[in-house]
Structure 1
Amino acid sequence: MPLVHISLRVGKSESYRQAIFDGIYRAMHETFNVPEDDQFMTITEHDAANFRYSVSYLGVPRGDDLIYIQITANNTRTVEQKKALYGRIVELLGDNPGIRPQDVFVNIVEVAKENWSLGNGVAQYA
């Protein structure tokens, strides 16, 4: 049950943003075994004054097409699954909508299963 927050610069088309949703979900489905229809994602767009990044931190040349992807998920995945997820996201977003690998920044926030209520005030995973 990942919850995904995506941040990017303002100005991308709806089809571009939908391709991001589709690529990230597909990568999670394939590498994290996220079930069909388990899609809880938001995109937030920022103007240039409200979107800061390093153009070269750790030797990665980033540009204005940078996207931040923060995934909150249960703390049940292995390091290998996480590496596979990062690689698959980059591959799929490179294919569509055409984002350079250097412009894909991913962060996973792990939580215990009891930290979710998916509705009705019930801790479904506890």
Structure 2
Amino acid sequence: MPLVRIDAVAADPQRLTAIGDAVHAALVDAFGIPADDRFQVLRGTGGDRVGYDPGYLGVQRDDGVVFVQVFLRRGRTDEQKRAFYGALAKHAAAAGVEPRNLLVSLVENGLADWSFGNGEAQYLDNPPS
């Protein structure tokens, strides 16, 4: 069950939805998560301020930058993660985000680190496959 947080410097609700769709499609493609396993926090930055270096590591980014954090259970291989980054770049480009403007962070955790409500740790009782 990934939890995705997306912050975009310049994004209206329609663009945020398209970016969320792109991230979800990449998670399905690269990690094989179920299509209905979708939990996202989407934020445009209307009055907020987001800072970024426009040339860090030789990647030229601009105010089209999109920050994507994905919280997920540990266990994906480096190859799966590379496949995710590639799939995300492809899907995001189709949503109007230039791949150079994607900054992605995967944050891994364990089964005990998730609660889906009712004050319970459901994955401890019924681990997902």
Which residue pairs with 2:69 in the alignment?
Answer: 70
* Partner residue, 2:38: 39
Question: Aligned pairs, how many?
Answer: 124
Deviations 1:55-76 (A, max 9, x none): 1010000000000000000001
* Runs of 4+ residues deviating >6 angstroms: none
Describe the shift of the 1:49–1:23 C-alpha distance in structure 2 as closer, same or farther (beyond 3 A): closer
The Cα of 1:13 is off from its aligned counterpart by 3.0
Task: Tell me what 2:123 maps to.
Answer: 125
Percent identity of paired positions between Structure 1 and Structure 2: 35
How far apart, CA to CA, are the structure 1 residues paired with 2:89 and 2:18? 12
> Does the 8 A contact of 1:6 with 1:70 survive in 2?
yes
Could you say if the C-alpha distance between residues 26 and 53 of structure 1 is closer, same or farther in structure 2, counting changes exceeding 3 Å? same
* TM-score, length-scaled by structure 1: 0.92
Structure 1: stretches of 5+ with no match in the other structure: none
Kept in 1, the 8 Å contact 2:8–2:16? The answer is: no
Counterparts in 2 of 1:54 and 1:48: CA distance versus 1, 3 Å: farther
CA RMSD of aligned residues (A): 1.4
SS of residue in 1 equivalent to 2:123? coil
> In structure 2, what is the equivalent of residue 3 of structure 1?
3
Residue deviations 1:11-49 (CA, integer Å, cap 9, x gap): x33221111111111110111111121110011222576
Distance in 1 (CA, whole Å) between partners of 2:80 and 2:27 is 10
Q: After TM superposition, give the deviation of residue 121 of structure 1 in Å.
A: 1.6
